[in-house]
Amino acid sequence: SSYEITRSREHALNNLLDLSAACIDAGRRLSDLMSANSREALRQGSGHLVRVCDGQPDVLALVPATMWLESAARASHFLDSTLEVIGETQKAMIRNAESQVRMLDEIVFATINRATRTSPWEAEFALHAMKNSLQSAEQGLHGISEAAIKTVTLAEKEIHEAAGILAAGTPAPRRRTTPVKKPAAT
């Protein structure tokens, strides 16, 4: 019907609007991250320059290590925040794609229902099978989307933990190896 066509167009436009908003928000957040990271690098660099210009011998020896540790922590935070923005944008894209597919499925369901009402009874079984197949595919897509979102969330968590370790400057935890038992001498 004309109502269904209008509704599907509005839904497609809203999906595009939501996707555009997610991309624009990601761009804004990434831009903010880059400028904050640059400001922090300038602040740290000027602090090191002041220490070097003071010419204190005990401070001069520590400047390269201090610079490296501060840069590693800053880069770790920047990477963590960047990947968080990318992960959230990816989740929004997955949800958006699923929503659009659901709308297309509604159009196909409406077409199948209309065809069922106007076709001979022999075709009803085939149309019913098509409808069931489409419903199963939609459920499968929903499961895949949920799994993809969980995977992105898990990856974000692992990256966040790794970035925290790098920012703290502590070594990564090592796995304990079990000693190999030597056979007893007889």
Query: Distance between CA 173 and CA 59 in Å, rounded?
Result: 31
* Max avg pLDDT among 20-34, 48-62, 84-98: 20-34
Query: Distance between CA 68 and CA 46 in Å, rounded?
Result: 14
Query: Distance between CA 69 and CA 172 in Å, rounded?
Result: 15
pLDDT score for 29: 94
pLDDT at 85 over 60: yes
pLDDT higher for 171 or 34? 34
Nearest to 124 by CA among 108, 133, 113: 113
pLDDT higher for 178 or 148? 148
Tens of pLDDT along 136-175?
888 888 888 888 888 888 888 887 777 777 666 544 444 5
pLDDT score for 27: 93
Tens of pLDDT along 43-82?
887 777 777 777 666 666 676 777 777 777 888 888 888 8
pLDDT score for 171: 46
Contact 160, 80 (CB under 8 A): yes
Query: Tokens 């895949």 sit at which residue?
Result: 144
**What's the mean pLDDT when you consider all of the chain?**
80
Q: Return the structure tokens found at 148.
A: 């993809």
Nearest to 162 by CA among 88, 104, 84, 99: 84
